[in-house]
Structure 1
């Protein structure tokens, strides 16, 4: 890869961290990294009961994750429409790279405090781990500016995750990308009443450094089509001239390969920090 493309890669993925005004003023409330662990259900688990599983995971959430000062937020998502129905997604956010490691160490400490008796601690984790297969994968992302923050809610939400890829054009620049992205976010995403939350992430550590992830949060599956139609309406309202729309699309499109995949998940509000 040429030097210019390397610099653009750094500009797009490492420097476009969400600005402080989007989050609370405390440094500890400002995500700088997001870990995504894709686990899988143990398909041989007999007599699976969703409520019992939630109760087991909530015990860990209440006794460990919620008390871990190095984890800002945590979420759990279940397969809705993805290529793999065994998927279960665990997401955590952190204010620094160092806090990822510190959070892991703190989890171990809090687990020992919650279950001081070693036999009982092993019994709990054996029960918890029995729900999952041994295989999993991990990715680490950096937030990209332009989040539409989801209001706190105790209801299940639909998360449409679109995984695309950056193209790193020779004639591109961070300034142009930021300007184009902000214009679209301000006039389409933020004005779309069906989009309750929106997040952009770039690769930090994992299998594919070109990965660009967008997450659209909506209230129901029925709102998916409405969201798309409304975005099209807003796009045409902001760029009423067809030639201008095509010009914008050409400028923005050069930053992406055009290849993407769509995944739909359901949040588990009971397991949210």
Structure 2
């Protein structure tokens, strides 16, 4: 979890209907259900064509589905071929996932009333991705830094740094306190980090899953945040030995981590109200 390491849809409709989430959105309650759908891309068209296909689905379905209260589509910042895409939605209630699925089917028929045109659209959409995908359902936690969305430039994508953690079994109070202290005295004080949200496992193959999402205005701001975090940590623990002891405790809570950088597509963002 401690970020002291080096920065190391088109989508299948049926998969999306079963399991869809919201990431980088701003909410402080811990009863939102969050599902993460990771797709492997095989984009043959240029990115503008792919984005136009997805924009049509967003406008006709996602935007109009009241049960999906937040949505992001995240793409790999450094990969023009879109080899990985994350579909993101937020649900206020567990039952809303099923209600959203039913409403999505209705909106698909409304958006493409002609059966042949509907089939042609989804054939065109689905060809951009392989059959492989992974998904899981998570829930929000109390650990959040809320972004002031009035400062957003909606014409430019935001940078999302996602850290996929595997936690130790039964973390003790020392580990939890170290994590929350780091948030309070480092992450939340770093102006480069516009928002932070942590997600805990709810349904999926591994109950140790713990996802952290850092949102910045740009990739440069993300890099700057790493440097400032080091300085803030030194302010938190001026004594080197105390600092090293803290880091050791903090890092002991994680057995595995993977950090990846994405950007969103502003025109396909649906904010939680």
TM-score range relative to shorter protein: 0.7 to 0.9
- Structure 2, unmatched stretches of 5+, are 1-25
Match of 2:268 among 251, 268, 271: 271
SS in 2 for 1:199: strand
CA-based RMSD of the aligned residues comes to: 2.5
Contact 1:196 1:218 survives alignment (8 Å): yes
What is the CA-CA distance between 1:234 and the residue it aligns to? 0.9
User: Does the CA contact (< 8 Å) of 1:164 and 1:213 recur in 2?
Assistant: yes
Change in CA separation of 1:73 and 1:31 when aligned onto 2, cut-off 3 Å:
farther
Alignment of 1:242-261 (within 5 A): 242-257=240-255, 259-261=256-258
Long gaps (5+) in structure 1: 1-21
Task: State the Cα distance separating 1:247 from its structure 2 match.
Answer: 4.2
**How big is each residue's C-alpha offset from its partner over 1:131-163, in whole Å with a ceiling of 9 and x where there is no partner?**
222221111111122222234331112222112
C-alpha separation between the residues in 2 aligned to 1:75 and 1:85?
Answer: 15
Question: In terms of Rg, which structure is larger?
Answer: 1
Q: CA deviation at 1:85?
A: 5.7
TM superposition shift of 1:177: 5.3
TM-score, normalised via structure 1 length: 0.78
> Which residue of 2 is the match for residue 134 of structure 1?
131
Aligned residue in 1 for 2:195: 197
* Superposed counterparts of 1:120-269, under 5 Å: 120-152=117-149, 153=152, 154=154, 155-169=156-170, 172-173=172-173, 179-257=177-255, 259-269=256-266
Q: How does 1:76-155 map to 2 (within 5 A)?
A: 76-80=73-77, 86-152=83-149, 153=152, 154=154, 155=156
Q: Could you list the per-position Cα deviations for residues 82-103 of structure 1 after superposition, in whole angstroms to 9, with x for gaps in the alignment?
A: 8x96111111111122211221
TM-score by length of 2: 0.78
Give, in angstroms, the shift of residue 178 of structure 1.
5.1
Q: Which moved more, 1:48-57 or 1:32-41?
A: 48-57
- 1:36: Cα distance to partner? 1.0
Q: Deviations over 1:20-64 (max 9, x none)?
A: xx748xx9xx86111111112225x3xx12222222211111111
Deviation of residue 250 (structure 1)? 4.1
Answer with 69-78 or 197-206: which moved more. 197-206
**Corresponding residue for 1:40?**
40
**Across the two proteins, how many residue pairs are aligned to each other?**
240
The 2-side partners of 1:252 and 1:135 are apart by 34
Deviation at 1:188, TM superposition (A): 0.8
Deviations 1:93-124 (A, max 9, x none): 11122211221111001111222222222222
